[in-house]
Copies of this chain bind each other. A is one copy, B any other.
Amino acid sequence: MPTEIKENYLKALFHLGQKCEKISVSDLGKELGVSKPTASDMAKKLDAKGWVHYQKYKPLRLSDEGKKQAASIIRKHRLSEMFLSQIMGFGWEAVHEMAEELEHIKSETFFDRMDELLGFPTTDPHGSPIPDKQGCFKDSNYSLLSATSKGEEVTIKALINSSSEFIVFLNNKKIKLGTVLKVLSKEPFDQSILVSYNGKKITLSQSVCNRLLVE
C-alpha cells in the first residue's frame, strides 16, 4: 500500500496522463510543488514498487497496477467530496480541499458506507466521474465550452478545474452544473464568448471557457 505522499504522486500522474499522453518529470514536479530531482527520485521509487514504468530520460507512464491505485484514491476523493456536499452540507467550492485529506483514509468500510449513504453516486459535485471499485471510469464525452460555436445551446456538465477560486467565480455569476447557456458570439481576438442564461447576458473569458465541460 502506498504512503500518503506516494498516493499524491500516483494521483498527479493519473491526472497529468489525462491531459497529455507524455508525462514529463518537470510537470510532475510542478503539479506537486517539488523540485525536479525529487520528482525524478520518486518516479524511480514508484517504478521499484511496480506502479510506474520508469526509463531514464523517457516520459513517465503509470503501470496498470499504478492506474488501479490512482483510481482507488480518486474514488475516495470524489466520494468524499460528494459526502461533504450532500451529507454534511458543505458548498461545492469547499469540498475539494477537505477531500485532499480524506482521500488518504485507509479504512475501506468508511468509503463503502459513504457510497451506500449517497446511493452509489456516479459523479462528484463538480461533475467528474467516480470510478467503480475495480478502477473503471465511465467516460462521458462532454466538450469544452471553448469548442462550441455561435448559436449552440449547451448545458454545463462538469468542471475541468475544481479550485475554490474558480468555483467562487461561478457562484458569483450564478453558474452551476445544469445551467443552460446560449452561445451568442465568439470574440476572435481573445476567444472570449458572449453567453446568455437565466435572462442574463455576460462574457466569459477563454480561461473560463477552457474550464467548463458542456453537452
Which residues 66-86 in A have Cβ within 8 Å of B in the complex?
Answer: 84
Contact present for B107 and A98 (CB under 8 Å) = yes
Question: Of all chain B residues, which has the CB nearest A98?
Answer: B107
| Contact of A101 with B94 in the complex, beta carbons under 8 Å | no
Which of B88, B106, B117 has a CB less than 8 Å from the CB of A117? B88
Interface string of A97-119 (1 = CB under 8 A from B): 11001100111011001100100
Residues of B within 8 Å of A89, CB to CB, are: 113, 117
- Least CB separation from A87: chain B residue: B87
A137 interface residue (CB < 8 Å to B): no
Q: Write out the residue numbers on chain B whose beta carbons fall within 8 Å of the beta carbon of A114.
A: 88
Q: What is the total number of copies of this protein in its complex?
A: 2
A101 is contacted by which of B84, B88, B97, B106 (Cβ under 8 Å)? B106
Query: Hey, which chain B residues are within 8 Å of A84, CB to CB?
Result: 110
Cα distance A110–B97 in the bound complex, in angstroms: 11
Mask: chain A, 105-143; 1 = CB below 8 Å from B; 0 = not? 111011001100100000000000000000000000000
- Which interface residue of A84, A88, A94, A106 has the most chain B CB atoms within 10 A? A88
Note all chain B residues with C-beta closer than 8 A to A107. Answer: 97-98, 101
> What is the minimal beta-carbon distance from A21 to any residue of chain B, in angstroms?
35
For residue A90, CB closer than 8 A to chain B, the reply is yes
Further contacts, 9 of them, CB under 8 A, given A88-B117, A97-B107, A101-B107: A84-B110, A88-B113, A89-B113, A90-B113, A94-B109, A98-B105, A98-B109, A98-B110, A102-B105
